[in-house]
Structure 1
Amino acid sequence: MRPGKGPLAVRVRLAPDDEGLAPGFELTEAGTQKRLAVYVTKKNPDEVPGIAALGPDPMAESFTVEALKRIVGGKRTQIKGLLRDQKVIAGIGNAYSDEVLHAAKMSPFKIAATLTDAQLADLHEAIVTTLRDAVERAHGLAAKDLKAEKKSGLRVHNRAGQPCDVCGDTIREVSFADSSLQYCPTCQTGGKPLADRRLSKLLK
């Protein structure tokens, strides 16, 4: 099936739905870059290359502060990019990395290796809480309602120009070639806006 323009990535029906549609799946891809892959296998899922390459599950009991510290330790990369990297930590992505960093009161351009133990603990709490809240909000919803529910629960992502729910400051955006990030200057960068260019630093 050709990629569509809808917001849904993949919908899997294991049984007939309320409208009588037979089990199966529907596939679309949002965005300009088509990266979605779907595997059907009888093997252990970990034997699928795309799954085997994933980082740890941030909602697993094994994902402790110490585990996060081992993941982050020594990495001279911006924390936003690290959180988005599925090979580092699975399942966070662009939208929820914005939400996590806002909850942790952390600049998206902070270098991962510079995080203190207290900041790591705050980041871990923000990751776990943000993802658990998102799962709870989505529980039991029909696939067609998931996108709207996700958007309703976001505090900064895709809300550039709107007031921050926490402090009232205006949410800002930094755009890149194929993505963008949103953040609150007061909550995350000491009130200073980030320059809207790749590898930005705080404006002086």
Structure 2
Amino acid sequence: MPELPELTALAAWLDGQLAGATVASLQFPTAFALKNKDVSPDIVAGRTLIRVVRRGKFLVFDTDPDGGGPALVANFGKSGWVRVSGKLPEVKDAPEAVSAAKPAAGPIMARIGLVKDGTEHGVDLMDYGRWKGLAVHIVHDPEVVPGIAELGPEALDPEFTLEDFARLLTSKQRIKDIIRDQKKIAGIGNGYSDEILHAAKLSPLAPGASLDTGSVERLYTAMRQVLSDAAGELTGLAPDKLKAAKKASMAVHGRNGEDCPVCGDTIQELAYVGTSFQYCPGCQTGGQVLAR
């Protein structure tokens, strides 16, 4: 699932390329992605795209300079991403495709056509998963989208202090679950939680309340450093380069069976709550291989 660093880079790239463009068309090949069926995509057509920004794991395409909408808010789910082309998508005369409650047959979930300074742009919101999780809302205020309304503080917000962070770590909940819970901290998912915990040299399964003051500070510092470094490395890359760059930058996530770049121990994997995570026993668990 796309997380804070690559979504920050994606929003910045799209904003740089497309801010000021006129929205020529907005299409949904099926109704699956559009979650608020009472709003017509036509209300966006003809408007100017003012900005593209990130909120948590959401991307916001805003067409109102005063923040009053309408805005297209997209969450990519587990397997979604963006494809950008240099031409407007073909407009299909099939309004029933939007209203029909049918599942998505292909990866294209929504298509945005834009024109800027006479140049055409096509932005496709894609979902490559078998089970489609990409969701789009058309709203006048992005804060009304449930996933945004419930977000905790942004992980890199300067006002999110060490003291604020420490208050989240007072339960028996495992620290991996705490830092990727969007209601507690916005923007971190499975991948970067692995990287943060590796950098902090902490077991993913350690309860939050078990951490001493030094461990809490180390985890907070690792969170800020890992995310800011990753966002910096990815910024400026086009959407089709971001996924590969993210994968190449990972120290432990997705690297089961490889050597840890820090201590040389073998990176391990553990199946966990519908997914899996990777960690280094030498760096994080005192050499212990966690039991399934």
TM range (shorter): 0.7 to 0.9
Aligned partner of 1:60 in structure 2 is 157
Deviation at residue 175 of structure 1 after TM alignment: 1.3
Per the alignment, do residues 163 and 86 of structure 1 end up closer, same or farther by CA in structure 2, a change over 3 Å counting?
same
Is residue 2:245 matched to residue 1:149?
Answer: yes
Q: Which of 113, 120, 130 is the matching residue for 2:209?
A: 113
Mark the CA change 1:7 to 1:189 in structure 2 (over 3 Å): closer, same or farther.
same
Q: CA offset at residue 40 of structure 1? A: 2.8
Partners of 1:10 and 1:170 lie apart in 2 by 34
* Amino acid in the other structure paired with 2:149: A
Give SS of 2:250's match.
coil
Gaps of 5+ in 2: 1-28, 34-77, 85-111
Q: CA offset at residue 22 of structure 1?
A: 2.5
TM-score, structure 2 as length reference = 0.59
Structure 1 outlier segments of 4+, above 6 Å: none
Give % identity. 45
TM-score, length-normalised on structure 1? Answer: 0.83
Q: 1:179 is matched with which residue?
A: 275
Could you list the runs of 5+ residues in structure 1 that have no partner in the other structure?
198-204
Secondary structure, aligned partner of 1:39 = strand
- 2:113 is the alignment partner of 1:41: no
Asked if 1:9 corresponds to 2:108, the answer is: no
Q: Which amino acid in the other structure matches residue 50 of structure 1?
A: G
Q: Residue 96 in 1 paired to residue 170 in 2? A: no
- Say whether the 8 Å CA contact 2:202–2:285 is kept in structure 1: yes
| Correspondence for 1:158 among 240, 246, 254 | 254
* Aligned mate of 1:26, from 111, 124, 133: 124
Moved more, 171-180 or 109-118: 171-180
Select between 8-17 and 186-195 the one with higher mean Cα deviation: 8-17
Give a deviation string over 1:68-120, Cα, whole Å, max 9, x none. 011222x2111111122111111110000000000000000000111111111
User: Is the contact made by 2:80 and 2:129 (CA closer than 8 Å) also made in structure 1?
Assistant: no
Greater strand share, structure number: 2
Distance 2:201 2:153 in 1: 23
Whole-angstrom distance in 2 between the partners of 1:185 and 1:142: 35
**Residue of structure 2 equivalent to 1:76:** 172
Question: Match of 1:202?
Answer: none
Q: What one-letter code is carried by the residue in structure 1 that aligns with 2:179? A: L
Secondary structure of 1:166's aligned partner: coil
Quick check: 1:7–1:147 contact (8 Å CA) kept in 2? no
Q: Residue in 1 aligned with 2:285?
A: 189
Shift of 1:39: 2.3
**More divergent stretch after superposition (173-182 vs 155-164):** 173-182
Higher Cα Rg, which structure? 2
Aligned to 1:51: 148
CA contact (8 A) 2:201 2:283 kept: yes
Deviation at 1:21, TM superposition (A): 4.7
Alpha-carbon distance in 1 for matches of 2:264, 2:152: 35
Q: Distance in 2 between the 1:53 and 1:88 partners?
A: 9
SS in structure 2 at match of 1:72: coil
Q: What letter corresponds to residue 156 of structure 1 in structure 2?
A: V
Query: Aligned letter for 1:84?
Result: R
Query: Per-residue deviation at 1:29?
Result: 2.9
CA-based RMSD: 2.5
Count of residue correspondences? 190
